[in-house]
Structure 1
Amino acid sequence: VSSIAHKRNTIPRKSLHYQTPLEVFLSYLDEAVLSSLI
């Protein structure tokens, strides 16, 4: 199950503008960290 989840999460999605779910998550995380530093 873990390997299937990893494989599915590394596929770029059209609904995410062809980014992977991990890339989208990290972009929001970076914004949250930067905004908390200001």
Structure 2
Amino acid sequence: FDISNRQRLGISESGIIQNLHAGLLAIIKAEKSL
């Protein structure tokens, strides 16, 4: 996942949302493991 504007050109809105969701889940999982 990539939380920036670099990859967002050419990606559908739903694709952006799914990518952001996956990124947020990974961040939450990492924080819980601390």
- TM-score, normalization: structure 2? 0.60
Which has the bigger relative contact order, CA under 8 A and spacing at least 6?
A: 2
Pair member with larger Rg:
1
Where does structure 1 lack aligned partners over 5 or more consecutive residues?
A: 1-15
Larger % of helix: which? 1
- Indicate the percent of aligned positions where both proteins have the same amino acid: 0
- TM-score, normalization: structure 1? 0.55
Q: How many residues align?
A: 23
Where does structure 2 lack aligned partners over 5 or more consecutive residues?
A: 1-7
Please report the RMSD computed on the Cα atoms of aligned residues, expressed in angstroms: 0.9
